[in-house]
Structure 1
Amino acid sequence: MTDEVREAIAGELRLMDPGVRASRPLARQLLDPEFVEVGASGRRWTYDEMLAALPELDGAEEGRPRHEPADFTGVLLAPGLVHLTYETTLDGNRARRSSLWRRQGAATTWRMYYHQATPVPPADG
């Protein structure tokens, strides 16, 4: 596993932290200004929509159920671009996830550029 992949996984895990999810300034540091998500519901989210909604979404409250990630894999697609895949469980519901993380120019931080979540049917063990 490369350093770039490890850094992208660390960013992904920070975005699952309730303290980060509840804080627009902290989440802003991890989302690329051109961010887009296709959620498990099929809804398309933009950067501004996600920053506005993130504090209210699942996993944002301390002491409440959190996204439990598993089976991270990642690959450096090109300099400054990492693709991650993994699964999460929240309240017994599983989702397969895919994220693109990018670092541009002189930036030292990786930011999530794209994310997609696909629900896993209960029968798909």
Structure 2
Amino acid sequence: MSEARASDAVNEAIAGELALLDPAVRASRSEAVRLLDPEFVEIGASGRRPSRAPSSPPAWRMFYHQGTPVPPDIE
């Protein structure tokens, strides 16, 4: 993969992760399913793991995520 294509992929992943911080996106099951990788598993505060139906593959895959909010002035 060329450096430009890799950079585009990283920027697309970052945009997708930032979208997942938007309460409107998180409230929309269809948007969350569209953005999250089918292998993504979220563990709630209760320790339960909600399930979801299989869907089409997302446009991007998460590279790394630790749940750290990004300040609004960072693009």
TM-score range (shorter-chain normalised) is 0.5 to 0.7
- SS of 1:33's equivalent? coil
Q: Unaligned regions of 5+ residues in structure 1, if any?
A: 52-106, 119-125
Q: Is the 8 A contact 2:13 2:63 kept in 1?
A: no
Give CA deviations for 1:27-83 in whole Å, capped at 9, x if unaligned. 0001111112467x6x766562xx6xxxxxxxxxxxxxxxxxxxxxxxxxxxxxxxx
The question of 1:31 aligning with 2:15 is answered no
Compare the two structures and name the one with the higher helix fraction. 2
Q: Unaligned regions of 5+ residues in structure 2, if any?
A: 69-75
Q: Structure 2: how far apart are the matches of 1:38 and 1:30?
A: 17
Compare the two structures and name the one with the higher strand fraction. 1
TM-score by length of 1: 0.35
The structure with higher relative contact order (CA 8 Å, sep 6+) is: 2
TM-score by length of 2: 0.54
- SS of 1:13's equivalent? helix
The question of 1:8 aligning with 2:13 is answered yes
The alignment of Structure 1 onto Structure 2 pairs a total of residues equal to: 59
Letter in 1 for 2:25: V
Equivalent residue runs for 1:41-56 within 5 Å? 46=49, 48=51
Runs of 4+ residues deviating >3 angstroms? 43-47, 111-118
Query: What CA RMSD, in Å, does the superposition of the two structures yield over aligned residues?
Result: 3.5
The question of 1:109 aligning with 2:66 is answered no
Distance 1:25 1:44, change over 3 A: same
Identity level (%): 58
Q: Structure 2: how far apart are the matches of 1:116 and 1:13?
A: 13
Q: Is the 8 A contact 1:32 1:112 kept in 2?
A: yes
Q: Structure 1: how far apart are the matches of 2:9 and 2:41?
A: 21
